[in-house]
Amino acid sequence: MIVCSCNRMTDADIRAALAQPNGPERARDVYAACGCAPKCGGCAGTINRLISESIAAKEKLESAVERRDAA
């Protein structure tokens, strides 16, 4: 799905950037990781939601690894 019409950035592009080690944690860093820059800002809310989802998933994974290692 197209998230950013101005830059033709898809949710898959954003998720791929977020999945990188030390991936971006701010919308402006997502743009940079995808090789573009913010224009109208209409997509910022969706990008921030995807960032939040990515951070939550990483924290959940880290927590599961910690529990496994403690067992």
Taking only the tens place, the pLDDT of each residue in 39-57 is 999 999 999 999 999 999 9
**CA-based diameter of the chain, in Å?**
49
Mean residue pLDDT across the chain: 94
Spans of all domains in the chain:
2-70
The answer to whether the beta carbons of residues 8 and 2 sit under 8 Å apart is yes
What pLDDT shows up at residue 44?
95
What pLDDT shows up at residue 71?
75
Average pLDDT over residues 4-21: 96
